[in-house]
Structure 1
Amino acid sequence: MEISQVRYFLAVARELNFTRAAEECNVTQPALSRAIKLLEDEFGGALFHRERRHTHLTELGRMVETYLQGVFENSRQAKQIADEYVHLKKTPLRVGIMSTIAPDEVIELISSVRARHPGVELHLCDADAPNLRRRLLAGDLEVAIYALPSNIRDEEVHSLPLFREQMVMAVHLGHRLANQRCVRVKEMSSESYIHGNNCEFAGYADAILAEQGVTVNPVYWSDRDDWTLSMIATGLGFGFMPQHTAKHPGVVALPITDPEFWREVNLVTVRGRRHSPAVGALVREATQKKWFGERLGALSAAAE
């Protein structure tokens, strides 16, 4: 059964005249009659009594009319939904954001999407980078923004670099290192440390510190950067976090050197997966945006 057959049947049922129904459907009468005959063959019985000047529904025709009307209406609504989706009139987009990214920049991106593509309905979630990657590959997310500290290329995803930022040692104003312009990794040894559970450098940095004989003492574990910063400000320990996240009136952010730690934050999609128009809209806005005052192209060139 084709939707055109259903449309022709409903037109004849309304007009009770094959000629007028064909005109309404903008087809020839023979074409409409053939379509109705195919539908009758499929249903196993006549749908109309065809009499000289009087056409009317058979009992079978009356029985199926309501159901075919529902089929046609559902098809029309499905086409409308598809049209809204394709033309960004009402298109949901599931986006994952790494929880350690400073919110101001992401909100700016969201605002630009909303301003230029008001039909895109953003559904946002935040999590750590490994969890976002898993959800992206599973299809729970269409796009994600995260960073993973690895030089190994991830062949399952496509990553568009958005910005780079240095990792810092965040300390309270009265800390012994607070007046320095930067801090060497070896100077962090024996310090009390507030562990960010969502930090993508957790585990990765441990090996580098161990190579230099540096040990830190984790005293608190926190899922939230705002709590971590508040604890740092009161002198409970230092934090290892991105430069743009370490913003608190009672906290000093010291760039780490020897070695430096940098992260590259990417807009990530699944390689080879066909994406919705809404993903394209988000990518366009992300590439046109100035991230922390820099265009994406300038940051990519700096990385090279």
Structure 2
Amino acid sequence: MHSKDIKYFDALVKFQNYTRVAEEFSVKQPTITQAVKRLEKEFGSQLVVQDWSHQKTVITRAGLLLSKNGAMIEHYLSLAHHEIDNTKKSQIRLGLPPIIGTYYFPQVAGQLLSTGLLKQTNIVESGSDELLKKLKKGDIDIALLGSIRPLHFNDIDSVHLGSRPFVIIVSPENPLSNRDSVSFSELIAERFINLTDKYVHPIAFKAYYEYADIDPNVVYYSPDISWAKSLVKANIGIAFIEKDVINNSDGVKILEITDDLPVRFNISVATRKGYILNESEKHFMEIIEQMRVS
């Protein structure tokens, strides 16, 4: 089965006109006709009929059923091409989000370097949500992912490596700096420096402020953690952040959050369900699973 045949047929269902589909893909009309014939032979059913009396193309019930499943068929055909093409290469295609890449991956980078696996690793940096999409699509084969709860997806296999708490950070000049903990309901009058949707923090932040029934005053969304910490240090606002990204040199005060919510920064290593690891990837996974998140 040709993956393009499915694309052509989906367009035919949409436009119900062979000429229009041919123009859409910049091909000749017989190309579309032959694609439909191949699909009809593949599935042993007539997918399209021509209503000459009304000068229109009619999609049969079998055709509509194929169209309904076409996106899934196309996805798995594309995925098979991605995976098989990758067997010709020696690269390990890894998705790595910014926080995990900066604060946790270095724990195992030395061992990966000594075994030669780091040199084989092609790292794609992005937020966890985007990396999850790339993993499902087949653009990467392994991903370290952050989430506010352990991962549970039908099409993903994952190993939970651990979780860390979220905290509030404030400037030493903020009156809250005299405290060691705070509840979200006490922050109603504060200005927040938030991280962008590139991070999982906004999802966790929303869970906390909805639990506290407050409407937070977010004055700035930072795409960079160091920048966010600098703004907090300058007392521009406070921030909701994963605890391990804070160190003594940042010049901010950490406040534990007292609200009892099952929301933490979870780290998992994930692959597509059914993906067959090669020997290098198996060794890579064994090393990654030694990462300490506690």
Q: Which residue of 1 aligns with 2:230?
A: 230
* 1:213 to 1:101, Cα distance in 2 relative to 1, 3 A: same
Q: Indicate which of 273, 288, 295 corresponds to 2:290.
A: 288
Q: What is the identity, as a one-letter code, of the residue corresponding to 1:121?
A: Q
Q: What is the identity, as a one-letter code, of the residue corresponding to 2:281?
A: V
* 1:280 to 1:244, Cα distance in 2 relative to 1, 3 A: same
Cα offset for 1:207? 4.3
Matches within 5 A, 1:1-304: 91-101=90-100, 103-118=102-117, 120-150=119-149, 153-197=152-196, 198-247=198-247, 248-260=249-261, 261-289=263-291, 291=292
* 1:94 to 1:280, Cα distance in 2 relative to 1, 3 A: same
For residues 287 and 100 of structure 1, the distance between their equivalents in structure 2, rounded to whole angstroms, comes to: 17
Cα offset for 1:256? 1.2
For residues 118 and 239 of structure 2, the distance between their equivalents in structure 1, rounded to whole angstroms, comes to: 40
* Contact 1:184–1:257 under 8 Å retained in 2: yes
Q: Deviations over 1:78-105 (max 9, x none)?
A: xxxxxxx89xxx8311211122336142
For residues 125 and 151 of structure 2, the distance between their equivalents in structure 1, rounded to whole angstroms, comes to: 24
SS in 2 for 1:232: helix
Say how many residue pairs are matched.
206
* Contact 2:103–2:244 under 8 Å retained in 1: no
Cα offset for 1:286? 1.8
For residues 252 and 234 of structure 2, the distance between their equivalents in structure 1, rounded to whole angstroms, comes to: 9
* Contact 2:151–2:268 under 8 Å retained in 1: no
For residues 276 and 151 of structure 2, the distance between their equivalents in structure 1, rounded to whole angstroms, comes to: 24
Gaps of 5+ in 1: 1-84, 295-304
For residues 175 and 101 of structure 1, the distance between their equivalents in structure 2, rounded to whole angstroms, comes to: 29
For residues 213 and 109 of structure 1, the distance between their equivalents in structure 2, rounded to whole angstroms, comes to: 41
* 1:163 to 1:255, Cα distance in 2 relative to 1, 3 A: same
SS in 1 for 2:147: coil
Cα offset for 1:279? 2.0
* Contact 2:91–2:122 under 8 Å retained in 1: yes
* 1:145 to 1:218, Cα distance in 2 relative to 1, 3 A: same
* 1:200 to 1:184, Cα distance in 2 relative to 1, 3 A: same
* Contact 2:111–2:287 under 8 Å retained in 1: yes
Cα offset for 1:239? 1.2
Q: Deviations over 1:233-272 (max 9, x none)?
A: 1111111111101234311222212134412100111111
Q: Pairwise CA RMSD of aligned residues? A: 2.4
Cα offset for 1:196? 0.3
Q: Deviations over 1:192-230 (max 9, x none)?
A: 111201231314432441242222211111111111111
TM-score (norm 1): 0.62
For residues 118 and 217 of structure 2, the distance between their equivalents in structure 1, rounded to whole angstroms, comes to: 49
Tell me which structure has the larger Cα radius of gyration: 1
* Contact 2:195–2:201 under 8 Å retained in 1: no
* 1:141 to 1:152, Cα distance in 2 relative to 1, 3 A: closer
For residues 210 and 161 of structure 2, the distance between their equivalents in structure 1, rounded to whole angstroms, comes to: 31
For residues 246 and 233 of structure 2, the distance between their equivalents in structure 1, rounded to whole angstroms, comes to: 11
* Contact 1:93–1:120 under 8 Å retained in 2: no
Gaps of 5+ in 2: 1-86
For residues 151 and 158 of structure 1, the distance between their equivalents in structure 2, rounded to whole angstroms, comes to: 12
Q: What is the identity, as a one-letter code, of the residue corresponding to 1:257?
A: T
Q: What is the identity, as a one-letter code, of the residue corresponding to 1:280?
A: K
* Contact 2:167–2:256 under 8 Å retained in 1: yes
Q: What is the identity, as a one-letter code, of the residue corresponding to 1:245?
A: V
Q: What is the identity, as a one-letter code, of the residue corresponding to 1:254?
A: L
Cα offset for 1:119? 7.5
SS in 1 for 2:177: coil
Percentage identity across aligned positions? 18
